[in-house]
Amino acid sequence: MTKTAWVFPGQGSQTVGMGADLLDLPEAKAKFEPSDKILGWSVAKIWQSEDDKVSRTLYTQPCLYVMEAILVDLLKARGQQPDFVAGHSLGEYSALYAAGVFSFEDGLRLIKRRAELMDSASDGMMAALLGFDRNQLEQQLQQTPNVVLANDNNAGQVVISGTPDAIEAIIHNVKFKKAVKLNVSGAFHSPLMTEAAVEFQKDLDTVHFSPAQVPVLSNVDPAPATDANLLKERLSRQMTGTVRWREISLRMPEEGIERVVEVGPGKVLTGIIKRTCPNLVLENISGAADLTNL
């Protein structure tokens, strides 16, 4: 049997009109009712909103989680099961749901609170860097206060997070092919999110975690784990910690994984993984149409 990992994208993969072919499916409708009660607004309407509300953090995170959970249910209903799961930032919550660590509703309540805290974060900024010398970047990060490596996606693509002055200093002092300042409300995955993380911990403490049914590769620690307490502890560090996606990708073939299925809108993660592990079989499930090709 081919070992398969399901991976779940995070913020940045959303698009207006995503999930259009899921709207009328019974599995989707079963998720919309509790979602709308928990959130106080309609996920389905935000998915389709032409004014791009889906790209505001407050809406993005719940919308992605609900969509990815629906796709998980559809995959499992067709007899599909992963051997490992992982998710990028927000996507780790979808991975934990797929692994049976918490209920859909508990996960959504956490996501709602996480989105509220991150949407209201006004300090700092983030920037993506492509095509750089890693040694030079790491040296500059060590020498520059108030900026950290937020997302280590692959050898040639990272995101830095910190104060505006510190971000500008890194961009000025590091040679790269391209730098893109991200349209986000704060310095996510950095110490500047500590206050939000402390508040979020209060909500996280109220949620029961069960042992994972399959190993989870966490953002802050790529070593596979199923222990409920360890997975919760790792998640508690995620808001301020680095997303170590490059290491997660490298860990997959070490664990015997041959096939990776990205579950969610777009092809962001498979594109990132391809550069790190070109021999893995990569597939995408972003809607009902993709399920017919299984």
Paired tokens of 167: 């971000």
pLDDT of residue 123: 81
Catalytic residue from among 13, 35, 88, 89: 89
100 and 230, same domain (yes or no)? yes
256 and 283, same domain (yes or no)? yes
219 and 261, same domain (yes or no)? yes
111 and 152, same domain (yes or no)? no
160 φ, ψ (degrees, to nearest 5): -105, 155
195 and 110, same domain (yes or no)? yes
Paired tokens of 175: 């040679």
Q: In which order are the strands placed within the sheet that holds 176-181?
A: 147-154, 157-162, 125-132, 176-181
Pick from 113, 141, 110, 126: which is nearest to 186 by CA?
A: 126
Least confident of 39-53, 81-95, 202-216: 39-53
Pick from 91, 98, 96, 111: which is nearest to 8 by CA?
A: 91
Angle at 28 (CA atoms; ends 24, 29), nearest 5 degrees: 70
Give me the CATH number covering residue 71.
3.40.366.10
44 and 109, same domain (yes or no)? yes
Paired tokens of 169: 């200093």
Catalytic residue from among 13, 161, 189, 249: 189
159 and 242, same domain (yes or no)? no
Q: How many CA atoms lie within 13 A of 75 on its CB side?
A: 24
* Contact present, 36 and 75 (Cβ < 8 Å): no
Digit-coded pLDDT (tens) for 15-35: 888 999 999 999 999 999 999
pLDDT reading at 144 higher than 90: yes
138 and 196, same domain (yes or no)? no
pLDDT reading at 112 higher than 90: yes
113 and 141, same domain (yes or no)? no
Paired tokens of 176: 């790269």
Pick from 122, 16, 107: which is nearest to 70 by CA?
A: 107
Digit-coded pLDDT (tens) for 223-279: 999 999 999 999 999 999 999 999 999 999 999 999 999 999 999 999 999 999 999
Using the structure block, give the residue that is written with the tokens 């860097």. 129
Identify the band that residue 121 occupies on the pLDDT scale cut at 50, 70 and 90.
confident
Please give the tally of structural domains in the chain: 2
C-alpha span between 34 and 228 (Å, rounded): 25
Is 189 a catalytic site residue?
yes
Is 208 a catalytic site residue?
no
Angle between helix 91-98 and helix 57-77 axes, rounded to 10 deg:
30
Q: Could you tell me the residue range of the domain that residue 157 belongs to? A: 125-181
141 and 202, same domain (yes or no)? no
103 and 202, same domain (yes or no)? yes
Q: Has this prediction a pTM greater than 0.75?
A: yes
Identify the band that residue 119 occupies on the pLDDT scale cut at 50, 70 and 90.
confident
Digit-coded pLDDT (tens) for 53-101: 888 889 999 999 999 999 999 999 999 999 999 999 999 999 999 999 9
